[in-house]
Amino acid sequence: MPIYEYRCPNGHTFELFQRMSDPPAEACAVCGAGPVEKLLFPVAVHFKGSGFYSTDYGRGKSKPKEAEAASNAKADDKPAKPASESTSKPPSDAA
């Protein structure tokens, strides 16, 4: 059974443990004033399990970790330049 939260015109808030088929509260449980309004809160639902994929939820445009690791591995596979092809020159003894 769900718990419903209500607010009265005097600013009191209270909770009632009710069935879904029960009628809503008509008077404040604190001061007896009425009518009261039912407060609604948005509920986030996240399904987990083998039948649901992480791509089913909009998380943004970030790369998956596996794709980043694969791109880093490709960059590491490039051979380094041999020492004979180096563009730096040795210092000269012109002193």
**pLDDT reported for residue 54:** 64
22 within domain boundaries:
yes
Give the pTM.
0.43
Domain extent at residue 33: 1-56
Start-to-end Cα distance in the chain = 93
Residue 14 maps to a domain: yes
The residues pairing with 69 across neighbouring beta strands, listed in sequence order, are: none
Q: What is the pLDDT of residue 69?
A: 62
Give the residue, 34 or 16, on which the prediction is more confident.
16
| pLDDT bracket for residue 3 (50, 70, 90) | confident
Phi/psi zone of residue 32: left (φ > 0), alpha (ψ -120 to 50 degrees), beta? left
Assess if residue 73 is contained within a domain: no
Q: Count of domains in the chain?
A: 1
Q: List pLDDT tens digits, range 50-85.
A: 777 666 666 555 555 666 666 666 555 555 565 555
